[in-house]
């Protein structure tokens, strides 16, 4: 899945994109199927991570310090 984020309140450095693969674990409940777990494997995140509060710095960001 490719997610594009745009923060229109910023004049520059206003995008943050995510390319990720999602794996869902499902369980059958009396009411029907439910998602009980989601695993996200991020391939890349170009842009400004401050735009997405859930973004965590990866090894490249930590190395840049």
Question: pLDDT digits over 6-61, tens only?
Answer: 999 999 999 999 999 999 999 999 999 999 999 999 999 999 999 988 776 665 55
d(C-alpha 6, C-alpha 48), whole Å = 10
Q: Tokens representing 52?
A: 């997405």
Distance CA 11, CA 9 (A): 7
Task: Check: pTM over 0.75? Answer yes or no.
Answer: no
């Amino acid at each position: 899945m490719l997610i594009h984020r745009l923060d229109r309140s910023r004049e520059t450095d206003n995008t943050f994109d995510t390319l990720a693969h999602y794996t869902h674990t499902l369980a059958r409940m009396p009411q029907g199927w439910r998602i009980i777990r989601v695993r996200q494997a991020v391939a890349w995140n170009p842009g400004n991570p401050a735009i997405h509060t859930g973004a965590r710095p990866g090894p490249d960001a930590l190395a840049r310090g």
